[in-house]
Amino acid sequence: MLQDVLQGIKELIFPDNCFLCRKYLRSYHQKQLCPACLSLLPLNLPPFCLKCSRHLTLFNDHGLCLSCLKNDYSFDRAFSACIYVDPLPQLLHAFKYHDKTALRKTFSELMINYIETYHIPLENFDLILPIPLHPVRLRERGFNQAELLSRLLTKHYDLPQRTDILRRHKLTPSQTTMEAKQRWTNVHDAFRIDHSSSIADKSILIVDDLLTTAATANAASEALKNAGAAYVGVFSLAITP
């Protein structure tokens, strides 16, 4: 009873409001979006590209999107829960750059729902590694958004996570405003592997917030494969159309 009273007082002082429409939420601080706004989030739906899981709008005999037809990625398979169109960019920007880290709960639920709906075989992976930030960027931001997402996934599925293996040793400019070719050059040789014996002949799942050109995921996957990983998957919250 006392806990309920304290929670009620807390909601009066710090009421929960939907992040998008600002409607009051009686959610006991567990939700960030009202049901109406939650329904607006653009889920990634089949048919999927057989390599990166991007929604296919054009079909070919290979079952691949145009990007995967043109690029020989180092990762073996990628999965994404949502499509990076409105209102997701607004939410993800607030999450990464304006300390709205509570949104990780909503994002992780979307990722878990995707895993359950499409039977993504997480049990086949030996380790989960979040895409790391460079130490300078981590000090500036105060947290690694990929690690926040992967931490909730590993807790839900009771899988091992390591943050001391995949290391970003090269401080690169933000990929946000770069064209596709610049993104690939920007992250070339940006990652190093520590404790390579821990990934030898293992299946590794990389977790990140966003897949665009896949340049970052590819650079990380290449480093892991060169260090002895047998299989590398990528799982992101969102992917560009």
pLDDT at 24: 83
Determine how many CB atoms are found less than 10 A away from the CB of residue 105. 14
Looking from the CA of 7 toward its CB, the CA atoms found within 13 Å total 10
* Structure-token pair, residue 149: 């997402």
* 90, 41 Cβ separation under 8 angstroms: no
**Residues 119-145, mean pLDDT to the nearest whole number:** 95
Please write the tens of the pLDDT for every residue from 219-234: 999 999 999 999 999 9
The strand pairing partners of 234, in sequence order, are: 78, 206
- Output the pTM of the full model: 0.88
Q: Which two tokens stand for residue 13?
A: 């002082």
> pLDDT tens, 58-81?
888 899 999 999 999 999 999 999
Could you tell me if 214 and 73 are in contact, meaning their C-beta atoms sit under 8 angstroms apart?
A: yes
Residues 6 or more apart from 173 whose CB is under 8 A from it? Answer: 186
Distance CA(22)–CA(32), nearest Å, equals 10
- Residue 4: pLDDT band (50, 70, 90) is very low
Q: What is the pLDDT of residues 162-172, one digit of tens each?
A: 999 999 998 87
Task: Pick 173 or 210 by higher pLDDT.
Answer: 210
pLDDT of residue 27: 61
Mutual orientation of helices 103-118 and 145-157 as an angle, nearest 10°?
Answer: 50
Give helix 103-118 / helix 88-97 axis angle, nearest 10°: 130
Quote the pLDDT of residue 201.
Answer: 97
Residue owning tokens 């665009």: 212
Q: How far apart are CA 47 and CA 80, in angstroms?
A: 13
Measured CA to CA in angstroms, residue 31 lies from 19, 20, 58, 133, 232 at distances of 10, 12, 36, 27, 32
List, in order of start, the domains of the chain with CATH numbers: 1-39 (no CATH), 41-239 (3.40.50.2020)
